[in-house]
Structure 1
C-alpha cells in the first residue's frame, strides 16, 4: 500500500525518510523500489557498508546521479550535514529530486537532526505494521491476535508467532533501547512495558507509573517518550473544540501493534485473548490503528469525551 506514495515522494523530493519500527518491512519495500532504478543501497549497521563511507562526501558525490538508500540512518547522525551539502550542490546543477531515501526505526534523533540539517529538503513517510486494508490473506482475528509485523502474522502457528514477538521484544530491550534511552536493566524496563500493556488505552498517569517501578516521574516520562519515538506506542491526545481551554485531560497510551501487546501479556491464542481482561482495550487499540492507517496522510487523531476517536 505504501509503494505508490513512496515512489511519488522520491519523484518529488530530494530526500525521503521512511520511518517505522524494526522488522516492519522498510528494507524490503526500499529494495523493491531500488531494483528498477539502479539505486545504491547502504546498511549503516553493517561494517562492510560503513567502510564505504569512510570518506562520505567523496562516496556520495561519486553516486550523485543515482538514488542512494541509507538504511538505519539514525545510527550515523553526522551524515545529515553532508547530505544537506550534497542536496544543495545537486539543486544548483539542476537535479532536484530522487537523491536519497533514508530508512530509520527510530524517529527521535532522526527528526532532531533533520530539523537542524535537512529543513525544506526532506519528506517523511511512516510505515506501520500491516493493517486490515492490505491484502495479507489473513483473517481479521489472526491479524488482531498476532499483530501486523509480517514475520509474526505469517508464522506457521500461533506458538511460533508468539516466539517471534518475544524475541522481537527482547531485541528492543537489550539492544535498541540502551542505544537511545537512559541506561536501565532490561528486566526493569520489561516490567514497565508489561505494566503499560495491562493499562492499554487508560489515561496516562506518569506519576503513578513511576511509583510502581521505583523511579522518579521525569525518568518514567522519558521511558514513555522513548516508546513513542521508537514508534512502538501511541500517545492519543484528548480532543478540544476550544484550544484555549485550561483543563486538558490526560492522553491515552496504546501499544500500536496488538500482537506485541498480547506477547507482553503472554496471550498465545484467540481463546486466551477472548478470556483476558484486556480484550476490550486490545480491540479498541487495534481499531484505532486501522482507522489511522486508512485515513488520508497528515490526519490528526484524538479521543473525545465519549471515548470515541476523532480523526480530522
Structure 2
C-alpha cells in the first residue's frame, strides 16, 4: 500500500530553494520512503549501516567524491562529521537540490547544522501519518480505531497489529536509540519513566512529581525528558503569556507525537477499551494537537501553538499564533 505524503509539495519546493534539504522526525515516520520516492534518481546511503558509516568517517572527502551530483544520506546524525564537508561542496557548486538528509535525533543534528549548514539547508518536520493521509487508503475508521492505530506507516503498509508494532518500536527505541544518544544505563527505569509520562499526557509538566514517583533526581527527570523530546517521542506545549515579563502559568504540557504509541504505553489493548477509558478525553485532545501540528509542518509552517491558563483556572486548551493574531 503506497501512502502519498501531504508534505511532498513542500519537499520539492524546499529542494528547489536550497542546496541541502533536511527532513527530521521520529524513526519510522516515513522519512526514508519519502526521500527515495521524491528523488529516485539520487543515490541512497544508509549511514546506520556500519560499513557505510566507517567509510564516511575514515575519509569524508573521498566518501563524498563518489556523489558528485548529490545523494540521500539517511540518519545523518550518525556521521555529523560529514556536514562541514557537505558545506564545502555546496558552497563550491552553488546548486540547489543536491543533498537530501534525514535525521531522527534533534540534538545530534542541531549543532552541526547551525555551524556548517546555516542558510544552506531547508528544514522539514515529518511526523507519522495524518488522518487525511490514512483516509486516502483506509475507510470507515472509528474514532477509537484512529486513536488506537496511530499513524506509523508500517502498520498500514504491512498490515501489522498496532500492539505488535508498538511493542517492537519501544523495545528497539530503548535498546538502540536511547543507548546511542544518552548515557542512560537503567533502561528498565527509563521505560517506566516513559510510561509515567504517558499517564501525564495533556497535563502540566511537573519534574518534581515525576522524579518523586520514580525515586530519581529531579535533574535526571529533566535529562530523560529532553531525550524523549530530542528523539521526537513527545513534545511540550508552552503556555501563552500576555506580555514577555509575565506568564500566567509557567509549566508546559506534555503531549506525544503519536497517539497510537500513547495508547500502547497506557496499556490499551484494543480500540473498544477507549470508549470507557478515563483518559479518553486526553487521548482525543492529544490527537487534535498532533493533527494540527502535522497540518502546519506539511505546509512548511512553524507550529506556534500554546495553551492558556490563568490563576482562576480558566483554560484554553490550544491556541495558534500567526503574527500578532491568536486563533
Q: Distance in 2 between matches of 1:41 and 1:52?
A: 15
C-alpha offsets along residues 181-207 of structure 1, whole Å, 9 cap, x if unaligned? 232322111111111111111100011
Deviation at 1:299, TM superposition (A): 3.1
1:140–1:243 Cα change, 3 Å? farther
1:79–1:202 Cα change, 3 Å? same
- Displacement over 6 Å in runs of 4+: none
Contact 1:17 1:122 in 2 (8 A): yes
2:316 corresponds, among 304, 307, 310, to 307
Contact 1:236 1:302 in 2 (8 A): yes
Q: Distance in 1 between matches of 2:212 and 2:157?
A: 39
- Show the counterpart of 1:105: 104
C-alpha offsets along residues 57-103 of structure 1, whole Å, 9 cap, x if unaligned? 12323422x23110011011111111111111212xxxx21111101
- Show the counterpart of 2:31: 26
Q: Distance in 1 between matches of 2:191 and 2:165?
A: 16
TM-score, normalising length from structure 1?
Answer: 0.92
SS in 2 for 1:250: coil
Structure 2 unpaired stretches of 5+? 1-5, 310-314, 322-327
Deviation at 1:155, TM superposition (A): 5.8
Contact 2:241 2:248 in 1 (8 A): no
- Show the counterpart of 2:52: 49
Paired residues in the alignment total 303
C-alpha offsets along residues 149-185 of structure 1, whole Å, 9 cap, x if unaligned? 012345647xx22111111011111110111123232
Deviation at 1:289, TM superposition (A): 0.6
Report the aligned-residue RMSD: 1.7
Contact 1:200 1:278 in 2 (8 A): no
- Show the counterpart of 1:88: 91
1:300–1:140 Cα change, 3 Å? farther
- Show the counterpart of 1:252: 253
Contact 1:238 1:251 in 2 (8 A): yes
Deviation at 1:236, TM superposition (A): 0.2
Contact 1:72 1:102 in 2 (8 A): yes
Deviation at 1:275, TM superposition (A): 2.1
Contact 1:61 1:86 in 2 (8 A): no
SS in 2 for 1:307: strand
Contact 1:152 1:165 in 2 (8 A): no
Indicate the larger mover: 77-86 or 287-296: 287-296
